[in-house]
């Protein structure tokens, strides 16, 4: 690789070139030089309108299906989708078939994604088959490359199992991911319990179902110590609970999805099953509280919670349709409407800290791990913008602000066509 990025505005608070427009020379995947202008004939010049660059983005929650659900998504196409969407690293959920609950399954994902531009970080299931009954082989999975342990969109009903997990992983500095939902309160609910659900005649999931589970898990964390990550919080009260836990000094982090920051349960009005997500879209009051929590760092990172679902599981009555939306392709364009660029980049890169991965920085001598983008273009998200095999996108027909040009990582580059018609 021999590249020169021309007239790139750097957005990296850890770099001396932060907010400067410079040329960047990259040789064999290493940042060799940064200067106001660089010219070298045997190098490929990369030029885009209003080019901005940041450290490569990481998504802490994606589902890629393989093995077992290749009809919904494959690892290779999922990683390609992540690259085209601006992500250089992704943490892959264990909801495969079989469930990723052992060393062999972790090694399968690592080997299948080896040498790709996008680095794949497998999340191991916390319990065997994600059934919530017995702990999975956590230590073996850690040694094989698992970055954390959690059962995707499954709450652990047995408090003792969660307690033992938090205690056990401390022996090898492991991270427990606790999707928080009290299933007995969720019942047969499919959307947020509120005015929208009543108008539509749909069974509601109360905010309390999330909040009581978070409160329990935080009490357990206070008792055991260790590290806990709470993914995709969705309510105002959840924010307050995590604020209080952090004030106590508990080692807890949390994420929020792009769609919970940008959409509300008013989006449900046409019974579009692509809006059926877990946790459900909440109220405007909740959305605004989540945005404030992102800004004041109560919420540590933003995820797409990318979850491809085949059309036969979405093209059903709302009650019967599966939960989930894809979100990689629309992430930046949606976030750029509600948050500042600096905040977006911070929250799309902080996942490395949560998962214990090395931070990157745009400095001479460092590996080039970068996202290239333009924050100023306006467009409407359409099916033609979907790279995923499944098309269950919650943001179809939504206006977007800003677009991704491509990514550089692992001595490779992926650039987008970026022709929007």
Q: Cα 341 to chain center, whole Å?
A: 17
DSSP state of 166: H
Is 134 part of the annotated catalytic residue set?
no
Is the distance from CB of 286 to CB of 309 less than 8 angstroms?
no
211 C-beta neighbours (distance < 10 Å), count = 23
Tell how strand 228-230 and strand 252-257 pair up. parallel
DSSP state of 34: E
Distance in angstroms (rounded) separating the CA atoms of residues 280 and 210: 10
- Measured N-to-C along each axis, helices 284-295 and 341-349 cross at an angle, to the nearest 10 degrees, of 80
Query: Among 239, 327, 330, which residue's Cα sits nearest to residue 287?
Result: 239
Q: In 3-state terms, what secondary structure has residue 31?
A: strand
Distance in angstroms (rounded) separating the CA atoms of residues 196 and 266: 6
3-state secondary structure 299-349: CCEEECCECCCCHHHHCCCCCCCCCCEECCCCHHHHHCCCCCHHHHHHHHH
74 C-beta neighbours (distance < 10 Å), count = 18
Distance in angstroms (rounded) separating the CA atoms of residues 112 and 116: 9
- One DSSP character per residue, 107-135 reads HHHHHHTTT-SSEEEEEEPSBGGG-SSSB
Residue among 33, 300, 305, 319 flagged as catalytic: 305
Rg (C-alpha) for the chain, rounded Å, is 21
Spell out where 152-212 has E strands.
176-177, 191-192, 204-205
- One DSSP character per residue, 215-277 reads HHHHHHHHHH-S-EEE-S---HHHHHHHHHHHHTT--EEEEEEHHHHH--GGGGGG--GGG--
Catalytic (active-site) positions: 305
């Amino acid at each position: 690789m021999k590249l020169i990025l021309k007239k790139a505005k750097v957005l990296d608070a850890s770099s001396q070139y932060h907010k400067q427009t410079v040329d960047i020379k990259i040789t064999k995947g290493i940042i060799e030089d940064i200067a106001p202008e660089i010219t070298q004939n045997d190098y490929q010049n990369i030029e885009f309108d209003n080019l901005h660059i940041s450290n490569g983005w990481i998504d802490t929650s994606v589902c890629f299906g393989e093995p077992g659900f290749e009809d919904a998504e494959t690892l290779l196409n999922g990683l390609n989708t992540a690259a085209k969407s601006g992500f250089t690293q992704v943490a892959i959920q264990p909801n495969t078939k079989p469930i990723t609950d052992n060393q062999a399954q972790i090694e399968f994902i690592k080997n299948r994604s080896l040498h790709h531009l996008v680095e794949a970080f497998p999340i191991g299931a916390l319990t065997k088959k994600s059934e919530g009954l017995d702990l999975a082989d956590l230590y073996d999975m850690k040694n094989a490359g698992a970055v954390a342990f959690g059962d995707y969109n499954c709450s652990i009903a047995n408090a003792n199992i969660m307690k033992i997990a938090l205690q056990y992983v401390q022996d090898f500095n492991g991270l427990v991911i606790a999707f928080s939902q009290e299933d007995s309160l969720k019942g047969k609910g499919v959307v947020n319990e509120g005015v929208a659900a009543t108008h539509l005649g749909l069974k509601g999931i109360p905010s309390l179902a999330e909040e009581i589970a978070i409160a329990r898990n935080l009490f357990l964390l206070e008792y055991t110590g260790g590290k806990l990550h709470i993914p995709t919080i969705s309510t105002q009260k959840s924010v307050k609970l995590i604020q209080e836990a952090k004030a106590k000094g508990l080692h807890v982090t949390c994420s929020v999805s792009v769609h919970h920051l940008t959409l509300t349960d008013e989006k449900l009005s046409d019974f579009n099953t692509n809006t059926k997500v877990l946790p459900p879209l909440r109220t405007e009051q909740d959305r605004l509280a989540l945005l404030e929590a992102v800004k004041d760092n109560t919420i540590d990172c933003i995820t797409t919670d990318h979850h491809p679902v085949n059309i036969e599981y979405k093209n059903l009555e709302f009650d019967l349709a599966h939960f989930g939306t894809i979100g990689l392709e629309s992430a930046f364009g949606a976030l750029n409407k509600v948050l500042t660029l600096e905040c977006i980049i911070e929250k799309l890169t902080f996942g490395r800290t949560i998962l214990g991965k090395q931070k990157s920085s745009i400095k001479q001598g460092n590996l080039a791990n970068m996202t290239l983008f333009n924050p100023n273009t306006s467009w409407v998200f359409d099916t033609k913008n979907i790279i995923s095999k499944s098309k269950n996108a919650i943001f179809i027909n939504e206006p977007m602000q800003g677009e991704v040009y491509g990514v550089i990582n692992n001595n490779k580059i992926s650039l987008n066509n970026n022709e929007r018609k």
